[in-house]
Amino acid sequence: EAAVTQSPRNKVAVTGGKVTLSCNQTNNHNNMYWYRQDTGHGLRLIHYSYGAGSTEKGDIPDGYKASRPSQENFSLILELATPSQTSVYFCASGDAWGDQDTQYFGPGTRLLVL
């Protein structure tokens, strides 16, 4: 069974503080993704990675950094958190090629920036 885990599951941060969201996958997938989900906007891609050491900008990367230190781990970093970054964040893993390509999502992290 494909598995993607996220930590923390819930986080309250202060404006201007640093927040790190972590994601771990045991699927041995090359690709990993960070999305945020907001009412009225759906899910939007923030950053993604094609493998250890690589990070790519998604559709809304401003205010976020990403780190992929290993095949299994992908972090999303908010250096200076702002209230507009209050959202639910989802991590996913997948491989872009293949007849049965799909993405597997983690349980999500609820972030509240005060």
Partner 1 sequence: GQQVQQSPASLVLQEGENAELQCNFSTSLNSMQWFYQRPGGSLVSLFYNPSGTKHSGRLTSTTVIKERRSSLHISSSQTTDSGTYLCALAGANTGKLTFGHGTILRVHP
Min separation Cβ 49 and partner 1, Å: 11
Query: Which span (18-26, 36-44, 61-69, 77-85) binds partner 1, by CB under 8 A?
Result: 36-44
Question: Cβ of residue 14: shortest distance to partner 1, in angstroms?
Answer: 25
Burial (CB count <10 Å: 0-12, 13-18, 19+), residue 88: middle
Site for partner 1 contains 33 (CB under 8 A): yes
Residues 58-87 within binding reach of partner 1 (CB under 8 A): 58-59
Q: Does residue 108 interact with partner 1 by CB under 8 A?
A: yes
Residues in contact with partner 1 by the rule CB under 8 A: 31, 33, 35, 40-45, 48, 58-59, 90, 92, 94-97, 100-108
